[in-house]
Homo-oligomer: A and B are copies of this chain.
């Protein structure tokens, strides 16, 4: 069958994370010698206090332009971390003392199951907040987080953030906005899981991913393993494979392996259900 090998053959041509990094994800899991997993608050401990550019802060915090005092205070409190692919960021048994964000790269949230793979639930692509909520509740992070790719991760100690919050009038709203966005995203996620079948969810996912594409049909480079995509869609890799084949047969998408084109975005949107 000629389709069978097409996907895999294209694989190593694409500018996606090469295999060594991926293998590292497995190799480093639950490794007792991992430099971060032993520390009580790894993010804050092993970090360097490198300054961020104003633009990076603005991307993350949004709202009104940041003033010099805010910038210097943020840079003073920030703990910046450069992590290799597969490195743990925080664990779900760990008290959340920081607001955590991803600046660059992709970090996945899920659970480490004993003996098995990492059980991915959703993934966050920088720049974006990774866990803005747990710290306020004085709880533990509710998920394990680990890098899917090399990543720059940022931690803001809650105590110091509180001080800045009181001093700078514009800061509260920036954080409220970030949390509101999280709520919005999670709302759509639960909605999709409750009311849409696997095919609809995949169609919606493809449309979200392919947004940058031109009019002739959005190009779409998959940057993660298909099994990770499947995990986010709450389906098995086998089902994802079959669904993609179905969509290909129906003429809604083209391409093989990790390079796709959405040839009929309107039909996809219709399939996803308005």
Interface residues of A (CB under 8 A from B): 119, 121-122, 132-134, 136-137, 139, 142-143, 162, 165-166, 169, 171-173, 175-177, 179-184, 186-191, 193-195, 234
Contacts and interface: CB of A to CB of B under 8 A. Distances in A.
A191 B137 contact: no
A180 B179 contact: yes
Contacts of A180: 132-134, 136-137, 179
A173 B193 CA distance: 31
B136 A193 contact: no
Interface of chain A, helix or strand or loop or mixed?
helix
A142 B234 contact: no
The complex is assembled from copies of this chain, and their number is 2
Contacts of A133: 179-180, 183-184, 187
Contact of A190 (B136, B162, B171, B193): B193
A234 B179 contact: no
A28 to B, nearest CB: 23
A132 B133 CA distance: 14
Contacts of A165: 172-173
Interface centre among A136, A180, A184, A195 (most CB of B within 10 A): A180
A183 B109 CA distance: 14
A271 to B, nearest CB: 18
A113 to B, nearest CB: 10
A166 to B, nearest CB: 5
B179 A179 contact: yes
Contacts of A142: 184, 187-188
A191 B122 CA distance: 10
Contacts of A176: 136, 172, 175-176, 179
A190 B121 contact: yes
Contacts of A169: 166
Nearest to A139: B184
A157 to B, nearest CB: 15
Contacts of A189: 186, 190
Contact of A186 (B139, B166, B190): B190
A40 to B, nearest CB: 22
Contacts of A234: 193-194
A259 to B, nearest CB: 28
Contact of A177 (B136, B181, B184, B190): B136
A183 B184 contact: no
Nearest to A165: B172
A177 B135 CA distance: 10
A182 to B, nearest CB: 5
Given A122-B190, A182-B183, A186-B187, 6 more contacts: A121-B190, A132-B183, A133-B179, A143-B187, A165-B173, A186-B186
